[in-house]
Each structure stands twice: as structure tokens, then as C-alpha cells.
Amino acid sequence: MNVYVVEDEVLARQELIYLLKDTGKINVVGEADDIHQALWDINEKQPDAVFLDIELEGGNGLELAKQFSNMKKPPMVVFVTAYDEYALNAFKLDAIDYIVKPIDRGRLIKAVEKLIKLGSVPNSENLVKPLPLPSTHNDKKHSITVKQADRIIIINTKDILYIGTENRQAYIQTLEKKYPTDTLLYKMMDKLGDNFIQVHRGYIVNTKQIAALEPWFNRTYLIILKDGSKIAVSRSYVKAVKQVLGL
């Protein structure tokens, strides 16, 4: 996999490049210490992914990431920063991962594995595919099953708040508990009713559990669920979410 590194601190950039190459799965095709050089290079080299710092000299990594959506082949983005307060904004831009410095090698390897999984060929079972809008006929199941050790748990879909992903693991968040599942996110939709919509690359939400929708940055929204959970709607799904909610 070809990646590009954007980091304005020389030592930090060299360390990140070394760690990436040391995985044996990454080819670093370029590096930059400012957003202008990075944007030009990334347009030219079209890497599969970009490892991007946020606080850059003369610019902001979040602003650079926004420019990627204008590219014919937008790269996947992993933010690597010393600041954890940008996490929500980062995932709003469909970031694949968010690593807080100092970089832990094991944590970086997990991010690389996630990139490789998501960057596989379109016909691969590992690719996270866009989920369809709900249809007008509800012929889906009212319950789904999850394996836990030697037990099979039956979950009523009306009790589900949302389905999310964390560290390459999908999980079902209900009113009372979180259930890990091996089912891929796009396949999960086939098991859910029409009350469920995708609001982010890594989240499916039960519309019956939505308590409020708040305006967020750059014409996006923040979904507030009845239990108080907050989930950002990424720009790619704003139109679909508004359509389903009748906005």
C-alpha cells in the first residue's frame, strides 16, 4: 500500500516513516511538512492513504483533508496528532483512524491493518460498502442474533441504538449493553429494519432512537440519541440522512 506522510516536525516525521516501513506492508511514496506541498504531491502521486498531523506550521491538517474530497481518487486518511480534542472533527471527515502521540507501534500496526482491509479490491468481502437508503417496505427481521462464546444472543432491533466500529471490530450498542459482532457493517443492514440508516462510514443509527439533530461544522450534523450518545454525520451522508428524516 502506498502512503504519504504530512508532519511538520522533522524527528516526528522520520519516526513515523520508519515505523510505517517497519511494518513491511507500507511503501512511503512521499512526505511534506506543509499543506501546500502536500496537496500538490498527493494530487500527483495519488497515494492510497495519507498519515496526517493536524497542527501544522502554516496550516491545519483538517483543512487539508477537506480538499481530498475534490480529488478523483481521494486517499484514506489517518490522523496522527498530539491533540485528542480533534477526534470528532476528524471522523466527521471520514477519517479511517486517529492516533494520539506518542505513537505506539502496536496502535500504528492496527491502523495499517485497517487501511489494508478497507483498501482491498472492490469485490473483496473486506471492503466497507456504502449502505442503501431504507426502502419503503419493511420486510427485514425484527431481531438479529449475535454469537457470544457458546451462546447465541437474540437482540430485538427496536432495542438497538446504533451499530458502530472500533479497532476493526463491529459492535451493536443496545439500550443496556454493547455486543461485539463479526458481521461486516454493510452486511448488517440486510438484517435490520428500515428504521436504520448509515450516517458515517463506521456507524448505522436507529432512527427511532434519535432524540435531536444539531447543526455541526461545515453544514454537517450531530445526532443526539435518547441515551445521550452523540454521533457525527459525515458529509458523505448528510443528504441521505436529511432525506430519510424528512428535512
Q: What is the 3-state secondary structure (H, E, C) of the chain?
A: CEEEEECCCHHHHHHHHHHHHHCCCCEEEEEECCHHHHHHHHHHHCCCEEEECCEECCEEHHHHHHHHCCCCCCCEEEEEECCCCCHHHHHHCCCCEEEECCCCHHHHHHHHHHHHHHCCCCCCCCCCCCCCCCCCCCCCCCEEEEEECCEEEEEEHHHEEEEEEECCEEEEEECCCEEEECCCHHHHHHHCCCCEEEEECCEEEEHHHEEEEEECHHHCEEEEECCCCEEEECHHHHHHHHHHCCC
Report yes or no: 79 and 90 within 8 Å, Cβ to Cβ. Answer: yes
Distance of CA 86 to the CA centre of its chain: 14
Q: Which has the closest alpha carbon to 193: 136, 147, 145, 236? A: 136
Report yes or no: 76 and 117 within 8 Å, Cβ to Cβ. Answer: no
Average pLDDT over residues 111-140: 54
**Confidence category of residue 242, pLDDT binned at 50, 70, 90:** confident
Instruction: Give 95: exposed, middle or buried? Use CB within 10 Å, 0-12, 13-18, 19+.
Output: buried
CA–CA separation, 198 and 233 (whole Å): 9
**Confidence category of residue 139, pLDDT binned at 50, 70, 90:** very low
Taking CA atoms, 233 is separated from 93, 151, 245, in Å, by: 9, 34, 13
What pLDDT shows up at residue 80?
92
Taking CA atoms, 121 is separated from 116, 118, 191, in Å, by: 10, 9, 24
CA–CA separation, 188 and 183 (whole Å): 6
N residues, the chain: 247
Has residue 81 got a pLDDT over 70? yes
* Most confident region among 48-52, 96-100, 157-161, 219-223 by mean pLDDT: 48-52
Tell me what percent of the residues of the chain surpass a pLDDT of 70: 89
CA–CA separation, 163 and 168 (whole Å): 13
What pLDDT shows up at residue 120?
53
The mean of the pLDDT values for the chain is 82
For the chain, domains (ranges, CATH) are: 2-118 (3.40.50.2300), 143-244 (2.40.50.1020)
